[in-house]
Structure 1
Amino acid sequence: MSAVHAGERTLAQQLGDFAAGTRYEDLPDEVVESVKARVLDILGIAAAAAPLDTSRAARRWAADQGGTPSASAVGVPALLPASQAAFVNGVLAHSLDYDDTHLPSVLHPSASVIPAVLAAAQAAGKDGRDAIRAIAVGLEICVRLGMAGYDTEAKNSTFFEHGQHATSICGAMGAAAGVAALLGDGQLVTDALGVTASMASGIIESNRTGGTVKRIHCGWAAHAAVSAVELVRYGLTGPPTVLEGRFGFFQAWLQGRFNPAAITDGLGEQWQVPDIFFKPYPANHFTHAAVDAAAALRRAGIGPDDVESFTLGVPAPNLRTIGEPLAVKQQPETGYMAQFSGPYAVAAGLLGGGGLEVGLDDYTDELAKDATRRAIMAKVNVVPDDECTAIFPMQFPAVLTARLTDGRTVTEKVLTTRGGPQRPLGFEDLGAKFEDNARRTLAPEARDHLRETCRTLQDCTDLSILFTDLSAADAPASGTPTNLPTLERGNK
């Protein structure tokens, strides 16, 4: 635990100084470009998630809460209070498990930060540069708080070891810092962090055995962030030692074991934002290397009937998420459960699909129960692999060994994760991902307009233009998409 001495700035105060003191002009070009790409990515994911039953539930709940309308939410025809709009958009942004991931903190920063900042910015009449700056600040703080909980000896997130969802816990804090930086000074940021810490939450048991509650985690984080800033502006305050204090954030979540240097070292000079991994596949990130390895077998001419058995080697900490209980992972009942299944990732990669290798259409309830895929999954055993464990969590590697029916053994190693700095997704890749997502609910002209607006977001003087081409209806059940919503246009 880090003690605070008289005259020293607490961690929250230092984050407040950073957030308030960072101007748009201070942002490196790669940070600006990264933020714009992440806004496009999140909006495309939210567009694709709009028709989900859980999305409809989130919209209905938010609409029933009342309040003063001020911001847009996916699939809601009328404006909502900013906190409710942030909730809905955050739910949809995380619902498909397609949102970006930071390593080695193993959290998804954008799905909380971007919905919160966009809702607050729209409500306050801020412009594109304001939003980019606030999002960059929020993402950076989110990631650094997550890294403070990374155990270098165990090589794993301590949040994760405790069953805590760092994505929503740190996401709420980062989102609050971003919103506060958008609307006020360093003291507002410090107080907002102090208040948000009492709202941050999330446990991840649903990763193992099912349930859709995880889908609301980033929405709740974004809601908490906007609400906390609003409460501070009404006069509520938070403890300046909220992070390192005896009964503070890190004591509550991590029993006081954390690395304060991860929060402050190089703050404002060494940006983590560009290194956040984009997701090429709509599934838990732990499964991506398995998709790649199985796809490599497919490209080598190996099909399902050629394989007697598979052994999927993964980092030991990943096993409980994508390999246990094995019987459940071999027989997912829904597309959502398939997103957390190592055996299903092997089946999907071996058969091939849409998107950038596999896409949303490859993770349906019907395909989760498909006889061909079930037969492949029954052949897959998931085991800890020492080489993968040594690399984790800087990467999420996998080693797939196929024992063939002709007696041969073929092994594919995927030791670096696609979408990160070592295997980046280029503009065309991200554009293809956005197109595959947004085409489900948006007409071509709407997709083109949204993509261009995000590409030039720094020049946008009215953020409501992001939502001009979007309506409030759900995607059609079938047929050609019309100009359907994800985000409704809002006023100032």
Structure 2
Amino acid sequence: MADANPLDRVADHVVSTGYEALPPAVTARVKTFLLDTIGVGIAGSSGAGIAELKQVAAGWGNSDEARVWLTGERLPAQAAAIVNAYQTHCLEFDCVHEAAVLHPMATILSAVMAWSERARARGGKVDGKSLITALALGVDVSTMLGVVTDAPLEFFRPATAGGFGAVTAIGKIAGFDRLTLKNALGAQYSQTSGTLQPHVEGSPLLGMQVGFNARAAIVSADIAQAGFRGPHDILTGQYGYFRLFEQNRYDLEPFLARLGEDWQMLEMSHKPFPSGRLTHGTIDALRQLIARHGFSADDVAGVTCHVPPLVHRLVGRPLTDAPEANYAKLCLRFVAGVFLARGRVDVPDFMGRAALTDADVHRYARLVDVKLDANPDANAMNPQTVEVTLRDGRNLQITLPFAYGHPAAPLSPAENVDKFRRCAGYGSRPLPAPKVDALIDAVDRLETLDDVATLVDLTQADERS
């Protein structure tokens, strides 16, 4: 029976929800993470493999529908979505929904902005209120796929689940009816991809998978608009998402019952450091212990991190002598070594061979041990307990229920803007200060914009853009 298909309830939520239904707090958080994501995408222009990716993408068609953020190469919308999604995730600096184990905005925003630029190229426009609504709904749908399962993470949800959020957002902007949206989501499921093997190996293809699903979202929306029927029982069907991607372990009803009331945008976490979110508990713990007890890195004899299974499995990896940047960002020992050596963890700390082989970083990293705790939740990021043994014999310990950047310990508005400004300076070329200021202002008054492609104009380093 059609009514038994949970996709019907999801589609109804998306189609029936307008801007006026969004609580002010949701609108504010959309703006916060929109600015954050644009900034991270600009910074990512200096990431590994960007030049090669843009060269390849230039061969995927000669249309000039959309642009690469910061550097301005004109590409077909699908190609621009891949490049901008990769730029957004390649530094491991983009926001995260911890309960879903998912970075939804990288996939959603790259696809939506490419779609919006293409709309302008064809004589249309997407206004700010539509973008706010689309992002809120896209995050709802993508995070649902992670929140409702207790299965151990096996596929890369920023790609797999993120793609559904991107289709949802595009469908909302395009005014899809219930059937067209279901067809688009079915088409997306038919293209869904993303494994954790690149995560294990530190391959740049990890972030590329985000791009693949952003591109797929545009394809899915296009073919649904053309009238193609997609599969509809894609969540709980015989070969549906939860059966194939999440071991058939899920409980959808509580989430569906709260659609329109529990907005997942309010559960998003910042990433204050450009490393795997699962490493942030240790950084935060070391920050707090040093602030509280006044010791220096040279006073440290050892660090023991007691972490949940997900953290142990994904970032408790061995230290290597000359890691690639993607591996280093996802190695808790290396990241802790960076903090102890430099008193910070920021984008330049993973750029270039000198940073990745720094003797001080590796010396401190070898003091770090990562131990599995008894947490029974296979997807939990927290709590984490960090013990520091000092050379004078003292043993200091802290247990954090969550790390800095979590909704319960968020970046302040000023800190969010500061992160954006730093990111704007980390790109492959400088973004002029007037455009930095204009982007901050445009996002702040997003609901008044009549064409959100203006945001892409403001990301362009070339003053003539």
Equivalence for 2:163:
172
Alpha-carbon displacement from aligned partner over 1:368-420 (angstroms, at most 9, x marks no partner): 2111111111111111133xx36885553432222222222222333322112
Per-residue deviation, residues 418-455 of structure 1 (Å, max 9, x unmatched): 11221011101101110110123312111101111111
1:339 equivalenced with 2:329 (yes/no): yes
Instruction: State the identity as a percent.
Output: 26
* Structure 2: distance between partners of 1:380 and 1:415: 21
Q: Deviations over 1:339-373 (max 9, x none)?
A: 111112322332344xxx53212223422211111
Aligned to 1:22: 17
Cα separation, 1, equivalents of 2:434 and 2:378: 42
In structure 2, how many angstroms separate the alpha carbons of the residues matched to 1:255 and 1:313?
27
AA of the residue aligned to 2:100: S
Contact 1:138–1:174, Cα closer than 8 Å, also in 2: yes
Q: What is aligned with 1:57?
A: 52
Q: For 2:69, what is the secondary structure of its paired residue?
A: coil
Alignment of 1:175-186 (within 5 A): 175-183=166-174, 184-186=176-178
Match of 1:94 in 2: 89
Q: Output the TM-score relative to the length of structure 2.
A: 0.92
> Following the alignment from structure 2 to structure 1, what is the Cα–Cα distance between the partners of residues 342 and 384?
18
Judging changes above 3 Å, is the alpha-carbon distance between structure 1 residues 99 and 164 closer, same or farther for their aligned structure 2 residues? same
Aligned partners of 1:75, 1:56: CA distance in 2, in Å?
A: 13
Please state how far the C-alpha of 1:177 moved relative to its aligned partner: 1.2
Partner AA of 1:173 in structure 2: F
Conservation of the 8 A alpha-carbon contact between 1:439 and 1:447: no
Given the two structures, how large is their TM-score scaled by the length of structure 1?
Answer: 0.87
Distance 1:292 1:10 in 2: 43
Provide, for residues 60-93 of structure 1, a one-character-per-residue CA deviation record: whole Å limited to 9, x for no partner. 2222111543222225534322222211111111
Distance 1:484 1:49 in 2: 17
Matched with 2:393 is 407
Structure 2 partner of 1:446: 435
What CA distance in whole angstroms lies between the structure 1 residues aligned with 2:348 and 2:446?
30
Q: Distance in 1 between matches of 2:160 and 2:53?
A: 19
2:386 paired with 1:418? no
Is 1:33 the counterpart of 2:19? The answer is no
Unaligned runs of 5+ in 1: 1-5, 152-156, 472-482
Q: Secondary structure at the match of 2:155?
A: coil
- Aligned equivalent of 1:219: 211
Counterpart residue number, 1:362: 349
Q: How many residues align?
A: 454
1:282 equivalenced with 2:274 (yes/no)? yes
Q: 1:197, CA displacement in angstroms?
A: 0.3
> Which residue identity lines up with residue 426 of structure 1 in the other structure?
S
Instruction: Report if the CA contact (8 A) 2:181-2:224 is conserved.
Output: no
Q: What is the Cα deviation at residue 185 of structure 1? A: 1.7
212-221 vs 259-268, greater mean Cα deviation:
259-268
The one-letter amino acid paired with 1:423 is: A
Residue 47 of structure 1, CA deviation? 0.7
Cross-structure match for 1:132: 132
For residues 238 and 262 of structure 1, the distance between their equivalents in structure 2, rounded to whole angstroms, comes to: 26
Whole-angstrom CA distance in 2 between matches of 1:392 and 1:164: 14
Spell out the pairing of 1:49-128 with structure 2 (5 A cutoff): 49-66=44-61, 68-75=63-70, 77-124=72-119, 125-128=125-128
Given that 1:338 and 1:344 are in contact with CA atoms closer than 8 Å, whether structure 2 keeps it comes out as: yes
Q: Which runs of 5+ in 2 are unaligned?
A: 120-124
Partner Cα separation in structure 2 for residue 263 and residue 217 of structure 1: 27
- Rounded to whole Å, the distance in 2 between the matches of 1:12 and 1:177 is 12
Give the Cα–Cα distance (whole angstroms) in 1 for the partners of residues 247 and 459 of structure 2: 45
CA contact (8 A) 2:319 2:334 kept: no
Q: Which moved more, 1:100-109 or 1:253-262?
A: 253-262
Q: Which amino acid aligns with 1:28?
A: P
Paired residues for 1:311-322 under 5 Å: 311-322=304-315
Preserved CA contact (<8 Å) 1:31 1:274: yes
